[in-house]
Amino acid sequence: MDSTSVSLLRRLHTDEKEIAWKRFVELYAPLIYHWTLRAGLSDDDAADCVQDVLTLLVDKLPTFAYDPKKSFRAWLRTVTVNKCRETHRRNATVAKSTDPLKPDDAVSPDGVEGFTDQEYQRSLVHRALELMQREFEPNTWQACWKHVVSGDSASVIAQQLGMTRNAVYVAKSRVLRRLRDELDGLMD
């Protein structure tokens, strides 16, 4: 197994950048979509807003990756909040021009603000795990999953999966390592 895995952010600069971008989208689009919906946008607006954010990312990600001082999470959220506000503003103008009585109350970017760091990380980790699952041997994956999620002892898992206890620990270590590598620079 290749142990020197390169983070997703870095891969966006390599020859694999097209594949990396697709992974990035798979990883982040649902989360951004969730934010934009929570910000009170309609389905259509939310989907467009996601695309706006991603359009910006496709341009800006290269410069971002080399700036480890920045928090990607905070940056992404700021970008998303701004795009949501833009959409709201546009809608409000449209609404005002046709219906002066409609209150300008649709703007609630708090939906995004209220989304906690913990939730961000959890969503990201789970989404990444989903996407990465097929990169592992089923047993390796299962061993890690069971050990981390169900808290079963290494002996129980070893018995269930027909592997040594040692292998269970190795499996856990590998999956988590891979996960950390992949998300390097994205979690904070």
Partner 1 sequence: MKTDVCPDHDLLDSHLLGKLHGEQADSIDQHIEICDQCLATAQEVDATDELTEGIRAGKPVLHGSENGIEQVIERGKLLYPQTKTIEADETVSDYHLPQSANEPKAAIGGARKNIDSEIDFLAPPEQPGEIGRLGRYRVLEWIGSGGMGVVFRAEDPKLKRQIALKVMKPVVAASRSNKKRFRREAQAQAAVRHDNIVDIYENGEDLGIPYIAMPFLRGESLQTRLKRETKLEQCDVLKIGREVAAGLAAAHQHGLIHRDIKPDNIWIEENTGRTKILDFGLVRTEGDDAGLTQSGMAVGTPKYMAPEQAQGQSVDHRCDLFSLGSVLYHLVTGKTPFSGGNCHAILRKVSYRSLEPLDAVCPTLNPDFAKLIMRLLEKDREQRPETAAEVVRLLTRIESSLRANTVQFDETLENSATTNQPVTPPPVISQTAKPSEPPTSGNGGHDNNYDPQPASPLPNPVTETTWCGIAKTFAVMAAVLLVPSLIYLAGNALFRLATPDGTLVVSVTGDDFVTTVKGKKVTIENTLTHDKYTVDLLSPEQTKKLPRGEYKLLLTVSSGLKTRTDRFTITGGKNAKVEVWWEPKATKVEYVWPKDQPAPAIAPFTAEQAKEHQTAYAKHLGVPVETTNSIGMKFRVIPPGEFRMGSGEGEILKLVAEAKEQDFDNWLDKSIPDEGPQHKVVLTKIFSLAIHEVTRSQFRRFVEATGYKTDAEKDKRGGFGWKDGNWVRDPKFLWNTDLGFETEQTDDHPVVNVTWNDSVAFCCWLSKKEGVTSRLPTEAEWEFACRAGSLTRFSCGNEISLLKWSAWYTGASRHTTNEVGTKAANAFGLFDMHGNVWEWCADRHGPYTRATVIDPAGSSQGEMRVMRGGAVFLHPTSVRSAVRGYNTPNSPNDNFGFRIVRSFQKAKPATIPSDTD
Cα 67 to Cα 81: distance, rounded to the nearest angstrom: 21
DSSP state of 14: S
- Considering only CA atoms, which of 88, 64, 77, 50 is closest in space to residue 10? 64
Question: Please, what is the minimum distance in Å from the beta carbon of residue 159 to partner 1?
Answer: 15
Is 161 one of the binding residues for partner 1 (CB under 8 A)?
Answer: no
Contacts (CB under 8 A) with partner 1, residues 43-82: 43-44, 46-48, 50-52, 54-55, 58-59
- Minimum CB distance to partner 1 smaller for 74 or for 94: 94
Packing angle, helices 17-38 and 117-132, rounded to 10: 140
Instruction: Pick left, alpha or beta for residue 83 (phi over 0 → left; psi -120 to 50 → alpha; otherwise beta).
Output: alpha
- Using CB under 8 A as the criterion, which residues of the chain lie in contact with partner 1 when the complex forms? 3-4, 17-18, 21-22, 25-26, 29-34, 37-38, 43-44, 46-48, 50-52, 54-55, 58-59, 118-119, 121-123, 125-127, 129, 148-149, 151, 153-154, 164-167, 169-170, 172-181
